[in-house]
């Protein structure tokens, strides 16, 4: 009966690369990576690092919770993850991945009687990453895999290991060996060994990080067999290319993505908003299956993330409506600087910009920034600035050359009163 159920469910299993055992662990966890063609090994800078490359967890400076739902071809996948960065002990992450389908039409082989059937594969992941320096980090993910098909169930243990090398100019590189410890699960008399899979990736960040171009090369490592069906010492390499682009249409707010791999073309969109201590984001991806000549229906992926606390830097400014008067030392804009870093701060910089992005005032220094800065409404040349909205960029660099940055609204400068009309009557 198990063989028959597997045959009935085979089309849903083929959503991933080649339908290999454990293929749900090598597809994509959330809309961001899926919208980038599933090329994420060298990026790995959100909670999906648990899934793609655990070494990337060390890049996260804030607590992050990520939840995602992916529609598949006859099935669905759910993912939830949490990341905890620490100052001295590296970064920790946990993730739960569920791939399955319900309501399968299966029959018993004896009398062809209907048998209500579900199929589910789950991965419970615990990950850790540590960065000996700011230029590279290593990490591992321990996985408990469970599989359920009808009345049959089994569990197995697996492990991934990865490395990320970054800050080589705009480039970063990643390498992951998934299933370094191979899970083996048996349902009835049929055993599945999840094959080792190598993921190698490269990424380049352009336009001050506003654009990311990334590529991955992925290959499962499967033993070749001889004419008698016995495993040999040779490995079969099945190279699978992935590529994608992420571009911030509105920096920090609106993100567009496009990707391509051997099976699918992907488009994605993200809307994000930050408030000093917290960032909230919603992501969406739309995938078209070109390998089937688009006979398979498009699929939709939805995700939500929130990151909070952790290591951050931002400014709170008062008043939000500022009417500077040169020479009046009591009429200034107060800027409270909040800085929480992994290591002691080596240097810092604050830039005040107008609505055109032009820098009109700058502050900088060594060691930690002062808890409060003030601005008198003048530019660096000592001239009163024009009325309008003003923004800030703040960057701090710690002793390991790791940087934290944030951009936000500062204040609105208004030196003129409201416009109006004055009536003048002749003779008065």
- Strands 196-206 and 211-225, by their bridges, are antiparallel
Angle at 174 between CA 71 and CA 222, to 5 degrees: 70
Q: What local confidence, expressed as pLDDT, does residue 398 receive? A: 87
Q: What local confidence, expressed as pLDDT, does residue 312 receive? A: 84
Q: What local confidence, expressed as pLDDT, does residue 51 receive? A: 95
Q: What local confidence, expressed as pLDDT, does residue 328 receive? A: 81
pLDDT tens string 316-346? 999 999 999 887 888 899 999 988 888 889 9
The answer to whether the peptide bond before residue 319 is cis (omega within 30 degrees of 0) is: yes
Q: Residue 46: is it exposed, middle or buried by C-beta count within 10 angstroms (0-12/13-18/19+)?
A: buried
Q: What local confidence, expressed as pLDDT, does residue 401 receive? A: 81
Q: What local confidence, expressed as pLDDT, does residue 149 receive? A: 81
Q: What local confidence, expressed as pLDDT, does residue 9 receive? A: 43
Domain ranges of the chain: 2-249, 312-413
Q: What local confidence, expressed as pLDDT, does residue 104 receive? A: 64
pLDDT tens string 232-282? 666 677 789 999 999 999 888 999 999 999 999 999 999 998 887 789 999
Contact 32, 46 (CB under 8 A): yes
Same fold for the domain at 2-249 and the one at 312-413?
A: no
Fold of domain 2-249: Porin (2.40.160)
C-alpha span between 46 and 31 (Å, rounded): 12
Task: Give all strands (DSSP E) within 226-341, no chain letters.
Answer: 231-237, 240-250, 254-261, 264-275, 278-289, 299-308, 312-318, 321-322, 333-340
Domain 312-413 has CATH 2.60.40.10: yes
What parts of the chain have a pLDDT lower than 50?
Answer: 1-18
């Amino acid at each position: 009966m198990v063989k028959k159920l597997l045959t009935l469910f085979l089309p849903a299993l083929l959503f991933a690369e080649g339908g290999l055992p454990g293929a749900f662990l090598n597809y994509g966890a959330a809309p961001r990576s899926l919208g980038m063609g599933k090329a994420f090994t060298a990026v790995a800078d959100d909670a999906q690092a648990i899934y793609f490359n655990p070494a990337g967890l060390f890049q996260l400076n804030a607590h992050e919770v990520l939840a995602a739902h992916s529609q598949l071809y006859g099935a669905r996948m759910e993912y939830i993850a949490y990341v905890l960065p620490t100052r001295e002990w590296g970064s920790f992450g946990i993730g739960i991945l569920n791939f399955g389908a319900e309501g399968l039409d299966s029959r018993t082989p004896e009398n062809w009687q209907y048998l209500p059937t579900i199929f589910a594969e789950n991965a419970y992941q615990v990950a850790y990453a540590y960065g000996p320096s700011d230029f590279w980090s290593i990490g591992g993910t321990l996985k408990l895999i469970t599989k359920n098909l009808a009345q049959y169930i089994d569990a197995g243990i697996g492990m991934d290991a990865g490395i990320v090398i970054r800050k080589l100019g705009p480039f970063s590189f990643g390498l992951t060996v998934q299933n370094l410890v191979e899970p083996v699960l048996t349902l009835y008399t049929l055993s599945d060994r999840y094959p080792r899979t190598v993921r190698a990736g490269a990424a380049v960040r352009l336009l001050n990080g506003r654009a990311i171009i990334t590529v991955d090369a992925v290959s499962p490592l499967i033993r070749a067999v001889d004419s008698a069906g016995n495993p040999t010492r040779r490995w079969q390499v099945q190279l699978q290319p992935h590529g994608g682009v992420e571009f911030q249409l509105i920096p920090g707010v609106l993100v567009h993505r496009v990707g391509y791999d051997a099976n699918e073309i992907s488009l994605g969109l993200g809307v994000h908003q930050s408030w000093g201590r917290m960032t909230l984001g919603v992501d969406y991806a739309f995938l078209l299956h070109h390998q089937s000549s688009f006979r398979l229906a498009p699929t939709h992926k939805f995700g939500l993330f929130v990151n909070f606390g952790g290591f951050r830097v931002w400014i709170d400014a008062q008043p939000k409506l500022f009417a500077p008067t040169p020479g009046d030392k009591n009429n200034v804009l107060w800027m409270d600087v909040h800085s929480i870093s992994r290591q002691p701060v080596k240097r810092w910089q604050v830039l005040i910009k107008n609505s055109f992005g032009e820098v009109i005032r700058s502050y900088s220094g060594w060691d930690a920034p002062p808890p409060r800065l003030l601005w008198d409404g003048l530019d660096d040349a000592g001239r009163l600035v024009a009325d309008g909205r003003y923004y800030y960029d703040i960057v701090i660099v710690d002793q390991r050359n790791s940087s934290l940055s944030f951009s936000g609204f500062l204040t609105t400068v208004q030196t003129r009163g409201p416009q109006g009309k004055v009536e003048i009557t002749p003779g008065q």
